[in-house]
Structure 1
Amino acid sequence: MPTPPAPHAAARAATAVERAAAALARLRRGRLLHPAGRSFTGEVLIWGTPGPPTGVHLLDGPGRYRATVRLSKGTPTPGGWPDVLGLALRMHTEVGRPFDLLVSSSGAAPLLRNVPLPRRRFTGTYSTIMSYRVGRRRLWLAALPDPDSVDLGRGLAELAAATRAEAPRMVIAVASAVGPWRPVGQVSIGDQLSAREDAALAFDPVGNLPAELRAAGPLTWLRDQTYRGSRRARGATVSPAAR
């Protein structure tokens, strides 16, 4: 879908898409996207960017951040059936808005990192699918499996059991369109949140970004309106103080 052209036409189209998303979310009685999932406390440890800096201060310098992590199924398929799996990561920064990073199950290779791929197991590669822009450069982010971490299992029940056994970890990485993934940190998954806390969580993958980073690509506009409609239908709000 192309980027909406004229301001008035864009406003009308945005309203229409948001209302449609809200209506579908009400029919589903929950999230329109990735309705079934589990949410956890977490911690992000940023080591810093190896090699050339990305231009994003939060990724280029070392830091430790409180986090909220949600792992989910893209559609309500039964049990451990193949699905496009999702990982939503909120890094709670000390000043201003949080950083909401939403990644989907994909391939690790350059040609597959922007293609959502269904799979059964929660351990695997998750990428941003759509790129970001830092100045004139494009950037992809990913959550990669940590070979020394416990397996996250197959299906939501196994996922919850894995997190009770020990704190699973995933590696946060960045890449250009064709370059290799460069690890910049890790996220540790902690205690599971209640069902009420999970239902109240609301992520904003377009608005909650570091100042240097902006979502890019023709589907960014559509994604923004769809998430707005889904949040509105649930009565959920995005707040820096959110879990």
Structure 2
Amino acid sequence: MAPPVVRPVFGALARLRHARVFHPRGVLLRGTLETLAPGELPLPPSGPVVARLSKGAGLPRGMPDILGLALRIPTDDGPWDLTLASASARVLLRPARGWRRAVFSSLVPYRVAAGLRWILAEVDGPATPVARIELDPPLGDGERPSFDPMLHSPPGARLYPDWLSRLREPAYQGSRAGRR
């Protein structure tokens, strides 16, 4: 059980910022996904995705920041929102200046049918890719999905460890409530 203060604190921070607590502004893109290793993750064989690139603190251009890559992947069970951040060694957040050299990580593993799996994304691709995603130019005004890995994940994929999910859920709830 998460401390009861988590949701109200994140709600207050979102209200003060008039935006998400983390990754306040971003650029939306459409793209396509091609699954290269079926069974590793509960991914469709191929299909459309929506992506959001953002800076964690929203610092001005050129300043290092924690970069974010959010993906909304349609699955048979509804959308799967993967949120990844620039990192080194899978679990350590790492500020970056540019998108092309950053390595993105789920920071914690997902429990899936194949076991515990870390999700990493690189522009040039990891040594053994599970999927390939190609993104198109940014979208204009219109669709503004709110990526939320706590609300949108397939039944076959859960963040691990469970206690962290229980802590993240009220943080996301507070941030959603504070933006309204």
For Structure 1 versus Structure 2, the TM-score category normalised by the shorter chain is 0.7 to 0.9
Letter in 1 for 2:79: P
Letter in 2 for 1:182: T
Specify the alignment match of 1:165 in structure 2.
none
Per-residue deviation, residues 138-187 of structure 1 (Å, max 9, x unmatched): 210111122xxxxxxxxxxxxxxxxxxxxxxxx4x6xxxxxxx6301111
Contact in 2 for aligned 1:42/1:68 (Cα 8 Å): yes
1:194 has 2:140 as partner: yes
1:105 has 2:86 as partner: yes
Tell me how far apart the structure 1 counterparts of residues 96 and 14 of structure 2 sit (CA, whole Å).
24
Q: Percent identity?
A: 35
CA radius of gyration, larger in = 1
Considering fraction of residues, name the structure with more strand. Answer: 2
Tell me how far apart the structure 2 counterparts of residues 68 and 82 of structure 1 sit (CA, whole Å).
25
1:125 has 2:70 as partner: no
Residue aligned with 1:65, SS? strand
Letter in 2 for 1:70: R
5+ unaligned residues in a row in structure 1: which ranges?
5-9, 147-170, 174-180, 236-243
Moved more, 95-104 or 80-89: 95-104
1:21-60 to structure 2, matched below 5 A, reads 21-49=10-38, 53-54=39-40, 56-58=41-43
5+ unaligned residues in a row in structure 2: which ranges?
none
Specify the alignment match of 1:183 in structure 2.
129
Compared CA separation, residues 64 and 127, structure 1 to 2 (3 A): same
Specify the alignment match of 1:115 in structure 2.
92
Specify the alignment match of 1:84 in structure 2.
66
Compared CA separation, residues 39 and 136, structure 1 to 2 (3 A): closer
Considering fraction of residues, name the structure with more helix. Answer: 1
Specify the alignment match of 2:179 in structure 1.
234
Residue aligned with 1:71, SS? strand
Contact in 2 for aligned 1:36/1:75 (Cα 8 Å): no
Per the TM alignment, residue 227 of structure 1 is displaced from its structure 2 partner at its CA by 1.4
Per the TM alignment, residue 195 of structure 1 is displaced from its structure 2 partner at its CA by 4.8
Please point out which of 47, 50, 53 is paired with 1:65.
47
Tell me how far apart the structure 2 counterparts of residues 191 and 125 of structure 1 sit (CA, whole Å).
20
Please point out which of 148, 155, 162 is paired with 1:211.
155
Which is bigger in relative contact order (C-alpha 8 A, separation at least 6)? 2
Compared CA separation, residues 229 and 67, structure 1 to 2 (3 A): same
Compared CA separation, residues 18 and 133, structure 1 to 2 (3 A): same
Per the TM alignment, residue 97 of structure 1 is displaced from its structure 2 partner at its CA by 1.5
Aligned residues: 178
Compared CA separation, residues 191 and 116, structure 1 to 2 (3 A): same
